[in-house]
């Protein structure tokens, strides 16, 4: 007799942390908190449909070959844009930026929008051999040489959309304690800055933050901020910089 040996293929092992435990419950919980409580004008959004579109981008796929197109069905479900003059970008200053928008109440980072709010601090990936998320491990972009992993591509896609939608004056909070507060390869430098629409955005205002009680600095006159200024100016966007805001 011929015996077919069907081997169960277990998910590949990667060097990064696996999908956040209780991913689906956290996803739905955050989606309902956002659409029912934080922005009740979104109360008719279908969180189950949003999660299905999100998972559809990476479930059952090679987690290192995710494309921007994979996230298009999800992006199309999120329609609400931030009002003009209310967009805040940040780079290497996430916690402070979020504390600021939380206290201020009327200025928005990407994590104050639906998709950013849901995905913030979560990890996720799939595997070609199953239709489940991989809770064991996910690719580490560097250690696994995997730039096109599910999370990195997601942040690229949503950051691009967030920047394209911005209008009026836009703000960016930078970390003045770093030698390069503006870093060209960051998401802000490589995606958001280049996707601002100069027909809609007239001014980019940088706030360079420093540790309270620490030394003040003059980063605005340094070479890193000058590089940002030149890129903004070449794109016909007025650049304003303020140290120690
Ligand atoms: O690479 P960065 O910062 O410059 O990206 C920040 C920039 C912000 O203005 C956001 O609009 O890009 C957007 N963004 C997020 O909102 C975000 N939330 C969580 C980009 N990345 C985001 N993350 C995760 O932090 C993601 O895993 C990414 O790789 C880091 C980038 O943080 P950074 O280097 O401080």
Is 235 within 8 Å of 196 (Cβ atoms)?
yes
Distance 156 CA to ligand 1 centre (A): 9
DSSP character at residue 189: I
Smallest CA separation from ligand 1 atom 31, residue: 187
Confidence check on the interface: ipTM exceeds 0.90, yes or no = yes
Q: Which of 86, 159, 187 to mutate to test the pocket of ligand 1 (most atoms within 8 A of CB)?
A: 187
- pLDDT > 70: what percent of the chain? 95
Question: If we measure between CA atoms, which residue out of 154, 167, 24 comes closest to residue 87?
Answer: 167
In the predicted structure, residue 93 carries a pLDDT above the cut 70? yes
In the predicted structure, residue 213 carries a pLDDT above the cut 80? no
Is 67 within 8 Å of 88 (Cβ atoms)?
no
For residues 170 and 183, what is the distance between their CA atoms, to the nearest angstrom?
18
CA atoms within 13 A on the CB side of 236: 5
Distance 187 CA to ligand 1 centre (A): 6
For residues 243 and 192, what is the distance between their CA atoms, to the nearest angstrom?
21
Q: What is the per-residue pLDDT for 6? A: 67
Confidence bin at 77 (pLDDT 50/70/90): very high
**Which tens digit of pLDDT belongs to each residue from 152-205?**
999 999 999 999 999 999 999 999 999 999 999 999 999 999 999 999 999 999
Smallest CA separation from ligand 1 atom 27, residue: 152
Q: What is the per-residue pLDDT for 217? A: 73
């Amino acid at each position: 007799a011929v015996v077919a040996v069907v081997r169960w293929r277990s998910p590949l092992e990667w060097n990064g942390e696996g999908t956040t435990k209780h991913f689906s419950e956290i996803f739905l919980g955050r989606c309902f908190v956002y659409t029912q409580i934080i922005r009740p004008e979104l109360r008719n959004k279908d969180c189950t449909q949003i999660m299905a579109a999100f998972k559809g981008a990476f479930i059952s796929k090679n987690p290192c070959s995710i494309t921007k197109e994979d996230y298009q069905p999800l992006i199309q479900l999120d329609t609400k844009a931030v009002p003009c003059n209310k967009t805040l970008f940040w780079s290497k200053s996430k916690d402070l930026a979020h504390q600021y928008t939380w206290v201020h109440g009327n200025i928005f980072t990407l994590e104050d929008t639906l998709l950013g709010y849901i995905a913030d601090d979560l990890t996720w990936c799939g595997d070609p051999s199953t239709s489940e998320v991989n809770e064991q491990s996910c690719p580490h972009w560097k250690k696994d040489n995997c730039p096109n992993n599910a999370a990195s591509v997601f942040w690229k896609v949503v950051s691009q959309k967030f920047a394209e939608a911005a209008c009026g004056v836009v703000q960016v909070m930078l970390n003045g304690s770093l030698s390069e507060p503006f870093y060209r390869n960051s998401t802000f430098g490589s995606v958001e800055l280049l996707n601002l629409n100069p027909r809609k955005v007239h001014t980019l205002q940088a706030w360079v933050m420093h540790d309270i009680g620490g030394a003040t600095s003059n980063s605005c006159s340094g070479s890193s901020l000058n590089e940002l200024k030149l890129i903004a100016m070449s794109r016909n966007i007025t650049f304003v910089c303020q140290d120690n805001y």
